[in-house]
């Protein structure tokens, strides 16, 4: 039974006893107020289950007097001084507004899911990473030798028209046996080098690409003429390589197995099974040193030592413009992407490469977008290796290339059922490729969002130091000793054809970088408690007191609002009943009713017992 209590006594929220209809049936209405039924006086008050104050003033006074929030009692004890009461009320409301504002900022920052980077240093034995070496000298496959000769002549014509350079005859001698020209071979001579603009001393060079109908054309421009020639030549070179069979494998016979002249690890010679060889279309013959060695100690004597042969006479001089060795350090079972993460070693030098490893652990879920081993990815990896973000980006681009251009780029693996792009089978494929590549450069392709970073990966930081090798005084006997190892005679006395490389761990300590949430649940609760203590000196129980105040105020609002609605409903004028219902007698509307929650002036409805038994009528409450 819910009750309303006042300062002078208590008022019941619901009347007790029989209904007014039953009382009216037993006691007929009289002409005056004395005929009203009177309620028996209460001898004592029995406390109800739920009691509410009779007014909001009493509710607020009770809260401020008994609450544990700092400053609330000042609103009551200073009631005799309006200035103090108003001042403390403004301070109380200002502190409440500041608390709500700072809590809003706290939750806004928490929903952004910020993270902290915790760096720790560990010391233990680590596996040496893989090292991939390429001679930077791509080969001329014998089956397309004549095609490349036609391309070289076309390139010389373009360079001569731009820079008036005359190429000496026989500079790049071809093999004695030249395969006949393929009748299906088509060199797109419409794609030629052009001078696009001339601003001051800088000349912009590029080439024009159009679709199959010629309705959509654009220029691929470069500020560097060397970059323009290399990219233009690479495009035609890939177009020719696409004519090769899928199962074609280029032999490494030009080195005769002597690109690596000597190899040692921790003072012991390497074995042939510790090298993996492959041919890269633009970087030439490549070797991956995969010995699965564990670094015991730091230093040169405990690392990998290599003596390499550098070939200065390039087979494709327009594709390879530098003399040196391409080197890339990468993790185990990872595909080396030399065009993105490699560096060069100068011939005639001894280079010491110091490696330092960092392990990165990222948070997934709401704190960041990362993948554990490529699980649940939209992109299917085309490389038979572990997941890396670069491998995913390459696979995504190749799949979009196949979907958009109906063929794949020769440098990247093909999806099942696809074929490489060539002008013989796919005219104007260059227009489609460079359009798609331009969208990739401007981040308009969805590959960046489809390829998250691994949740756990190892990053290798490399530093290098070089010195002249061999020195002037030791060059003769060093080259002679290497010549006894069947070094070609033309390399004797030519220091520029050799390079020495040492690969070591700088130190066995490695850094572990781990992400941690800035606001975990305990930290969030601690920050909320700090703000509540700062502005109100409140605790969790104090917040529950505020919640109780809101619930009591809501309940009191509903009860007082319901009372006003009932008063308005019963004070509304009623229509006179029909003559057929003469046995239903309405009492005097001005007849006072007993005091109760239904109001002081409620009309009584008197129904005779006989008529009530004959046809019960609905009652209004």
pLDDT per residue as tens digits for the range 360-373: 999 988 888 899 88
Tell me: do 233 and 257 sit in the same domain: no
Q: Residue 106: inside a domain, yes or no?
A: no
Question: Predicted confidence band at 495 (pLDDT cuts at 50, 70, 90)?
Answer: low
User: Is the per-residue pLDDT at 47 higher than 70?
Assistant: no
Tell me: do 262 and 234 sit in the same domain: no
Q: Number of folded domains in the chain?
A: 2
pLDDT at 25: 40
Q: Residue 107: inside a domain, yes or no?
A: no
What is the b/e burial string over 305-343, where b = at least 16 CB atoms within 10 angstroms of the residue's CB? bbbbbbbeebbbebbbeebbbbbbbbbeebbbbbeeebe
Tell me if the bond preceding 511 is cis, omega within 30° of 0. no
Q: What gap in Å lies between CA 381 and CA 394, rounded to an integer?
A: 9
Secondary structure class of 2 (helix, strand, coil): strand
Q: What is the mean pLDDT of residues 545-553?
A: 87
Vertex 439, ends 435 and 441: CA angle to 5°? Answer: 115
Domain that holds residue 261: 120-132+253-515
Digit-coded pLDDT (tens) for 408-436:
999 999 998 899 999 888 888 999 999 99
* Mean pLDDT over each residue of the chain, to the nearest integer: 77
Alpha helices in 196-349 (DSSP H): 225-241, 338-341
Digit-coded pLDDT (tens) for 333-342:
899 999 888 8
Tell me: do 364 and 466 sit in the same domain: yes
Q: Residue 388: inside a domain, yes or no?
A: yes
pLDDT at 341: 87
User: Is the per-residue pLDDT at 26 higher than 70?
Assistant: no
Tell me: do 477 and 438 sit in the same domain: yes
Tell me: do 507 and 436 sit in the same domain: yes
Tell me: do 474 and 364 sit in the same domain: yes
Between 127 and 578, whose confidence is greater?
Answer: 127
Alpha helices in 353-412 (DSSP H): 389-405
Tell me: do 373 and 262 sit in the same domain: yes
Question: Predicted confidence band at 295 (pLDDT cuts at 50, 70, 90)?
Answer: confident
Question: Predicted confidence band at 541 (pLDDT cuts at 50, 70, 90)?
Answer: confident
User: Is the per-residue pLDDT at 249 higher than 70?
Assistant: no
Tell me: do 371 and 492 sit in the same domain: yes
User: Is the per-residue pLDDT at 570 higher than 90?
Assistant: no
pTM over 0.75: no
Please report, rounded to a whole number, the percentage of residues in the chain having pLDDT higher than 70. 76
User: Is the per-residue pLDDT at 580 higher than 50?
Assistant: no
Q: Residue 389: inside a domain, yes or no?
A: yes
Q: Residue 42: inside a domain, yes or no?
A: no
Question: Predicted confidence band at 151 (pLDDT cuts at 50, 70, 90)?
Answer: very high
Q: What gap in Å lies between CA 617 and CA 621, rounded to an integer?
A: 13
Q: Residue 435: inside a domain, yes or no?
A: yes
Tell me: do 409 and 500 sit in the same domain: yes
Tell me: do 299 and 445 sit in the same domain: yes
The CATH number linked to 353 is: 2.60.470.10
Q: Residue 29: inside a domain, yes or no?
A: no
Q: Which of 241, 261, 287 is the last residue of a domain?
A: 241
Digit-coded pLDDT (tens) for 206-229:
999 999 888 999 999 998 888 999
Please list the residues that pair with 294 across neighbouring strands.
Answer: 127
Tell me: do 221 and 273 sit in the same domain: no
Please list the residues that pair with 51 across neighbouring strands.
Answer: 3
Q: What is the mean pLDDT of residues 83-98?
A: 87
Q: Which of 241, 274, 295 is the last residue of a domain?
A: 241
Q: Residue 620: inside a domain, yes or no?
A: no
Q: Which of 515, 541, 564 is the last residue of a domain?
A: 515
Tell me: do 364 and 423 sit in the same domain: yes
């Amino acid at each position: 039974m819910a009750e309303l209590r006042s300062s002078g006594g208590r008022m019941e929220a619901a009347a007790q006893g029989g209904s007014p209809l039953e009382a009216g049936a037993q006691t007929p209405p009289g002409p005056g107020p004395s005929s009203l039924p009177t309620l028996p006086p209460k001898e004592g008050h029995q406390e109800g289950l739920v009691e509410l104050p009779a007014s909001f003033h009493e509710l607020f006074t009770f809260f401020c007097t008994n609450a544990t929030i700092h400053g609330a009692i000042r609103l009551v004890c200073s009631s005799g001084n309006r200035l103090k009461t108003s001042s403390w009320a403004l301070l109380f409301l200002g502190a409440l507004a500041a608390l709500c504002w700072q809590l809003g900022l706290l939750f806004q920052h928490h929903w952004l899911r910020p993270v902290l980077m915790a760096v720790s240093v560990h010391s233990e034995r680590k596996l040496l990473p893989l090292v991939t070496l390429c001679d930077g000298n791509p080969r001329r496959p014998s089956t397309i030798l004549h095609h490349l000769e036609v391309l070289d002549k076309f390139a010389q014509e373009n360079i001569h028209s731009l820079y008036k350079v005359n190429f000496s005859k026989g500079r790049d001698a071809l093999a004695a046996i030249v395969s006949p020209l393929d009748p299906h071979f088509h060199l797109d001579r419409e794609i030629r080098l052009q001078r696009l603009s001339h601003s001051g001393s800088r000349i912009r060079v590029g080439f024009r690409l159009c679709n199959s109908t010629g309705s959509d054309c654009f220029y691929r421009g470069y500020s560097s003429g060397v970059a323009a020639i290399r990219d233009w030549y690479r495009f035609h070179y890939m177009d020719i390589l696409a004519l090769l069979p899928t199962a074609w494998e280029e032999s490494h016979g030009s080195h005769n197995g002597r690109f690596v002249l000597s190899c040692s690890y921790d003072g012991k010679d390497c074995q042939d099974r510790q090298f993996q060889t492959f041919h890269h279309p633009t970087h030439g013959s490549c070797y991956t040193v995969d010995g699965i060695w564990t670094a015991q100690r730091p230093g040169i004597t405990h690392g990998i030592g290599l003596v390499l042969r550098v070939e200065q006479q390039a087979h494709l001089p327009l594709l390879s413009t530098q003399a040196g060795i391409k080197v890339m350090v990468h993790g185990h079972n990872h595909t080396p992407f030399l065009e993105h993460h490699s560096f060069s070693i100068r011939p005639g030098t001894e280079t010491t490469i110091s490696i330092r490893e960092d392990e990165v652990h990222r948070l997934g879920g709401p704190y960041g977008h990362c993948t554990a081993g490529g699980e649940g990815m939209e992109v299917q990896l085309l490389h038979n290796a572990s997941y890396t973000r670069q491998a995913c980006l390459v696979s995504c681009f190749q799949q979009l290339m196949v979907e958009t251009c109906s063929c794949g780029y020769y440098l990247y693996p093909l999806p099942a059922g696809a074929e490489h792009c060539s002008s013989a089978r796919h005219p104007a494929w260059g227009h489609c490729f460079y359009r798609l590549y331009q969208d990739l450069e401007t981040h308009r392709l969805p590959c960046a969002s489809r390829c998250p970073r691994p949740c756990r990966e190892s990053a290798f930081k490399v530093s290098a130091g070089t010195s002249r090798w061999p020195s002037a005084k030791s060059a003769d006997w060093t080259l002679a000793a290497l010549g006894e190892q069947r070094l070609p005679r033309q390399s004797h006395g030519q220091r520029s054809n050799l390079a020495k490389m040492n690969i070591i761990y700088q130190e066995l300590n490695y850094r572990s970088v781990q992400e941690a949430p800035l606001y975990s649940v305990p930290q969030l609760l601690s920050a909320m408690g700090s703000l509540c203590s700062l502005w109100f000196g409140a605790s969790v129980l104090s917040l529950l007191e505020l919640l109780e105040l809101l619930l009591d105020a809501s309940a009191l609002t509903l009860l007082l609002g319901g009372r006003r609605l009932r008063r308005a409903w019963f004070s509304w004028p009623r229509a006179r009943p029909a003559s057929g219902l003469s046995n239903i007698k309405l009492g005097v509307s001005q007849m006072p009713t007993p005091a109760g929650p239904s109001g002081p002036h409620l009309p009584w409805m008197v129904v005779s017992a006989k008529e009530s038994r004959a046809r019960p009528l609905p009652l209004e409450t």
